[in-house]
Amino acid sequence: MYEAELAQKEPKTDWLMLASIMGLMLIGIAFIFSASTASDPNSNFWLKQGIAYGLGLALAAGLCCIPYETLSRFAVLGYWFSILLLLCVMAFGTSRLGAKRWIDLGFFQFQPSEFAKLAFIFMQASFLSRPKEELRNGKVFLKALAMTALPFALILKEPDLGSALVLFPIGLAMMFVAGVPMKFILRFGGGIAAFVALILVDILFAPPNWQIKLEEYQRQRLLVYFGQDFAARNATEAERQQARRLQKAKSYNVEQALISVGSGGLTGKGWRQGTQNSLGYLPRAVAHNDFIFSVIAEEKGFLGSVMVIALYSVLIFSGIKIAYQARDRLGKLLAVGVVTMLFSHIFINIGMNIRLMPVTGIPLPLLSYGGTSVLCSLIAIGVLQNVYIYRRSY
């Protein structure tokens, strides 16, 4: 009886998490407006972002009306539908800058890889919600890895290395929480670390003819990140000069982002007063999406950056609390998968803005411009709220 009375007094909505996402959305509209209208006063990117926010909130609210246990029954269907969408991208997707990642519906372009992450979380959570004795079986671990590897390979083929790599932290975090033996996870993690080290050594030090085949833009981003010369060791002077020009061009976005962050000082230059942004030094094609954090840092300084990180911290720690409070393993695993996905996006995007991470196409959740990213982020947060609402039901 006491537990029933306690459950009635507990709020059915995590208002602190809701307040954090509302704050992030307000910041998103304000600084997308600042970044996009600097070059085009008639730009409506901020309005499109606002529409995406409204639609995403509606979808998240609708999702909360259906218990997550019921939603998980469609996990297999959703997973294979996302695989079908990824195959459709390969067949007739829209290309931009050499990457084929979007499906054009005329009125809207969406990126199936974002939805694939959500479908993967539901599939993995449903699969791992089994007796712990079964999780000690190596075949179960290999099946869980295969579920991760299939969307990873298809997203990598687009190519979208950043989005593909996010799948493995999600999968491994969910396996760890589910109770998969640590020896399996450590062996796989060690193998991945050795493979990544081999690729880096190969790219940075091996002769061109011996290098592992990567997309040229991926190799160049790694060379920029590690500060390596683009020119081969036996290059002629003319080839070295050409390589330096190419390296300068490929380093430009990162260098300007760093200048933007550093020039903001403590309190920033003021909203819409950032010179890096308004004068176009921070490239206008990426200022409102991949490098939106640099715009915020320049215009609102260190204090504005800390505010953004604080709002994200509230979101992440609220998700961790929801995972801890979940009464069943399915809810716990769904919450862990969503939190890991959001944290990976936040860490990678902010890291590439301050050169802690190589440049990738990973958006900053709720702040970067992009309808698909916004919808998937809000649906993912809706999953967290769903687990919170029904945490006493199982």
Tokens of 232: 């081969």
Sequence-distant (≥ 6) Cβ neighbours of residue 318 within 8 angstroms: 14, 16, 17, 20, 384
pLDDT, residue 209, reads 65
What is d(CA 394, CA 328) in angstroms, rounded to the nearest whole number?
Answer: 6
Task: Please tell me the total count of domains within the chain.
Answer: 1
DSSP per position, 134-163: HHTSHHHHHHHHHHHHHHHHHHHHTT-HHH
Pairing between β-strand 99-104 and β-strand 109-110 as defined by DSSP bridges: antiparallel
pLDDT, residue 334, reads 96
pLDDT, residue 208, reads 64
Does residue 265 sit within a domain?
yes
What is d(CA 199, CA 202) in angstroms, rounded to the nearest whole number?
Answer: 5
The alpha carbon of residue 127 and the mean position of all alpha carbons in its chain are separated, in whole angstroms, by 23
Of the candidates 390, 391, 381, the residue with the CA atom closest to the CA atom of residue 16 = 381
Q: How many helices, marked H, and strands, marked E, lie in the chain? A: 17, 3
pLDDT, residue 3, reads 47
What DSSP state is assigned to residue 130? S
Does residue 12 sit within a domain?
no
Does residue 9 sit within a domain?
no
The alpha carbon of residue 236 and the mean position of all alpha carbons in its chain are separated, in whole angstroms, by 41
Between CA 119 and CA 126, with CA 123 as vertex, the angle to 5 degrees is 140
Does residue 206 sit within a domain?
yes
Amino acid at 67: P
> pTM for the complete prediction?
0.91
pLDDT, residue 317, reads 96
pLDDT, residue 207, reads 66
What is d(CA 56, CA 299) in angstroms, rounded to the nearest whole number?
Answer: 27
Of the candidates 353, 332, 393, the residue with the CA atom closest to the CA atom of residue 132 = 332
Contact 268/303 with Cβ under 8 angstroms? yes
Tokens of 52: 């995406």
Question: What is the domain range of residue 334?
Answer: 18-389
Does residue 322 sit within a domain?
yes
Q: In angstroms, what CA-CA distances link 251 with 156, 233, 350?
A: 23, 20, 17
Is the preceding omega at residue 159 within 30 degrees of 0, hence cis? yes
pLDDT, residue 158, reads 82
Sequence-distant (≥ 6) Cβ neighbours of residue 5 within 8 angstroms: none
Does residue 3 sit within a domain?
no
Q: What is the mean pLDDT of each run of 10 residues along the chain (394 residues)?
A: 48 86 96 88 90 95 92 94 92 75 79 93 95 90 93 88 89 94 90 81 68 70 78 75 83 88 91 87 86 94 96 96 92 96 95 88 91 94 93 64
Contact 358/291 with Cβ under 8 angstroms? no
Pairing between β-strand 109-110 and β-strand 94-96 as defined by DSSP bridges: unpaired
The SS3 call for residue 355 is coil
Does residue 6 sit within a domain?
no
The alpha carbon of residue 243 and the mean position of all alpha carbons in its chain are separated, in whole angstroms, by 32
Q: Measure the CA dihedral 56/61/66/67, to 10°.
A: 100
What is d(CA 78, CA 73) in angstroms, rounded to the nearest whole number?
Answer: 10
Contact 312/349 with Cβ under 8 angstroms? no
The SS3 call for residue 5 is helix
Q: Measure the CA dihedral 20/25/26/28, to 10°.
A: 130
pLDDT, residue 6, reads 44
What is d(CA 278, CA 202) in angstroms, rounded to the nearest whole number?
Answer: 40
What is d(CA 381, CA 315) in angstroms, rounded to the nearest whole number?
Answer: 9
Does residue 342 sit within a domain?
yes
